Structure 1
Amino acid sequence: MIGYYVHHHGLGHRNRATQIARELDVPVTGFSSLERPEGWPGDWVQLPPDVTSEPVDPTANGVLHWAPLGHPGYRERMGIMAGHLRRSLDLMVTDTSAEVTLLARLMGVPTVVMAMRGDRTDRTHRAAYDAATALIAPWSRQTAEPYWPEAWNRKTTFTGAISRFDAPGGARPEPAAPRPARDAADTASPDRSVLVVWGRGGTVVGEDDVDAARAATPGWSWTVRTPDAPSPDLWREITEATVVVSHGGNNAVAELSAAGAHAVVVAQPRPHEEQAYTVAALDRAGICVGLQEWPEPTAWPALLDRAQLLGGSRWDAWRHGDGSQRAARALRDMVSGGAA
């Protein structure tokens, strides 16, 4: 039995976990404060919340990220997982929590950490990554973080991007061919469109920023999709848009890679600079236009032209097309006693 802890912040962790769990042929139990996702193939344990506006020593004097003293919800959720770890779990996957990783390891259960971009050199992350039996990185070895110690690299499965649109188990009807670069001189085309795909995890970009960018780019039509204004067919809209503008969240970028999109990816503030590191990796690989902050309106015409010129063929450096299958295979191998 595999346990799978899913962090409650945003929806990306749960979406990725579901993609991987659906590829497993061994029982899997999910643990999260979030509700059970559609398509989850096994049991789902909804944990009590541990959020509080007045936490007492939540970092244990800098040793941990979140372990508030005297919080009944936190104590109950850790106790629930400890009970499952004692009785039935052969492997614990965390996406992501240093505390759950260390809890599982302290109880003698092998642990797999779903790695994240960003600066993970703080004391708590180092302890979790060092203690983990294995790491799964949802990016390619080619675009790996250059600062990682070799000890982490040696125990990592680099799956490439994990997208819900990946074949064969994904939702898209058929693989998308790489999209070629488009001549930026083609400015008279009447069908030049921008699709803005924005998430729920927190943003410093508002409607006024998008409106200003729209006003600065006459001849381009802009459509904005968010969790509160979802797309009726996101795959179709991504593949049909001339340029897609997105935040730098892992799942959003994975979906751009699956579509081979001409893209502008803008980092949003996140703990440990997760999106900033993602955008930096995209920029290093020359995959798309990567920005550390939302630009001034006057910059948008040139940015959209540059995204067209870069095209979408470089996404092959980011994804293999079967990221969830690679992750599931690594987990099955660990449960059966093989190497990750």
Structure 2
Amino acid sequence: MIGYYVHHHGSGHLHRATTVARSLTVPVTGISSLPKPGDWPGEWLQLPRDDEDPAPRDPTAGGRLHWVPLGDPGLTRRMHLISEWVARSRPRTLVVDASVEVALLARLHGVPVVGVVSPGRRHDEVHRLGLDICAELVAAWPAGWTERLLPGLPDQLSSRIHAVGGLSRFPVGAVRHERRSRPRVALLAGTGGDDFTRELVTTARQQTPHWDWTVMSRHLGTWNADPRAAIADADLVLTHAGQNAIAEVAAARRPAVVIPQRRPFDEQDTTAAVLRDGWPAVVADDVPTMGWAELLDSAVGLDGQGWERWCDGSAADRFASVILEVAMRETPA
């Protein structure tokens, strides 16, 4: 049995977990505050939320942890449920994406942890603690970029990270070679929040009368939990710099305009800085108010085949191999 803890913020953690779980050859139980997705291949342990108190008390334990609010009944209940599940199921390993506290809880129960690392400035003491106690560390970006995507992390930690490549839930597609008289741009908004407003999107469309737009957003257009068809139909994708969004654009082999959004630990800004370095993307610092025609026209001619180095379609299998290796290695004889 493998356990897989899924953080509830946004949708990227869940998409990644589901894709990896479907590549595993052993039973896997999802553990999360999120509801079980319809395509999850195993059992699911539903956890209560621990962030609903409007005035949490000492949530960082004096700066030693990320989120452990005093007296929170949701926190008490969720930790109890995880401990109870560990004692009952005796998992071979627990994949944690992402929570220092859950990683610690598993390790205190004698369960080896496979930690999922995200881009950004994560060399603080709390992250260091969570990374140090993991049996193995996995990152969903291409090999050779860890030092840039995790700046400031000591060499002894960064050298332990398995960079498995961009992890998309969609299969690799083909580069679009034909040029349409009216190119199409797909706006892929983030479920974790973004800087796009109705006014800014209207301005962008007004400035690009020779472009057709598909707007995928919970607030500004038509939301589709499976944007694969819209991305494949686009000549260009306008997206934030979240890991899953970039992986899905890369898998579709579409050029992109990337606008990083504000996230803890500079996660998207760090990714965007790397994407400036030879990838088929034009990176803008903010959602512009002027110059949209020039921006889209400058990006649409980039060769989407360049994403092959970011996402080759086998990241989930490589991730699953790390999990299984830990499960077999750490299992008592």
Alignment TM-score, normalising by the size of structure 1: 0.90
Residue 176 of structure 1 aligns to which amino acid in structure 2?
G
Instruction: Please name the residue that 1:219 is paired with.
Output: 210
How far off is 1:4 after superposition?
0.8
Determine whether 1:292 maps to 2:294: no
How far off is 1:34 after superposition?
0.5
Gaps of 5+ in 2: none
In 2, Cα distance between equivalents of 1:242 and 1:84: 47
Residue 6 of structure 1 aligns to which amino acid in structure 2?
V
Superposition pairs for residues 177-326 of structure 1, below 5 Å? 177-179=174-176, 190-227=181-218, 229-231=222-224, 234-298=227-291, 300-326=292-318
Secondary structure of the corresponding residue to residue 277 of structure 2:
helix
Mapped contact 2:98–2:116 kept (Cα < 8 A): yes
Instruction: Please name the residue that 1:29 is paired with.
Output: 29
Q: 1:334 to 1:232 in 2, by over 3 A?
A: closer
Deviation per residue, 1:208-236 (Å, 9 max, x gap): 11111111122112120124622497323
How far off is 1:120 after superposition?
0.7
How far off is 1:164 after superposition?
1.0
Q: Across the two proteins, how many residue pairs are aligned to each other?
A: 324
Superposition pairs for residues 64-75 of structure 1, below 5 Å? 64-75=65-76
In 1, Cα distance between equivalents of 2:324 and 2:62: 37
Instruction: Please name the residue that 1:154 is paired with.
Output: 159
In 1, Cα distance between equivalents of 2:170 and 2:121: 28
Deviation per residue, 1:54-99 (Å, 9 max, x gap): 1010000000110001111101101111222334122111111011
Deviation per residue, 1:131-156 (Å, 9 max, x gap): 21111100011332332322223322
In 2, Cα distance between equivalents of 1:8 and 1:286: 30
Instruction: Please name the residue that 1:330 is paired with.
Output: 322
Q: 1:141 to 1:233 in 2, by over 3 A?
A: closer
User: Which 4+ stretches in 1 moved above 4 angstroms?
Assistant: none
Instruction: Please name the residue that 1:117 is paired with.
Output: 119
Mapped contact 1:285–1:317 kept (Cα < 8 A): no
Gaps of 5+ in 1: 167-174
Mapped contact 1:29–1:43 kept (Cα < 8 A): yes
Mapped contact 1:179–1:311 kept (Cα < 8 A): no
Instruction: Please name the residue that 1:58 is paired with.
Output: 59
In 2, Cα distance between equivalents of 1:274 and 1:232: 23
Identity %: 41
Residue 218 of structure 1 aligns to which amino acid in structure 2?
P
How far off is 1:196 after superposition?
0.6
Instruction: Please name the residue that 1:136 is paired with.
Output: 138
Residue 161 of structure 1 aligns to which amino acid in structure 2?
G
Deviation per residue, 1:174-218 (Å, 9 max, x gap): x423446x9xxx8xx532111111121112221111111111122
How far off is 1:117 after superposition?
0.8
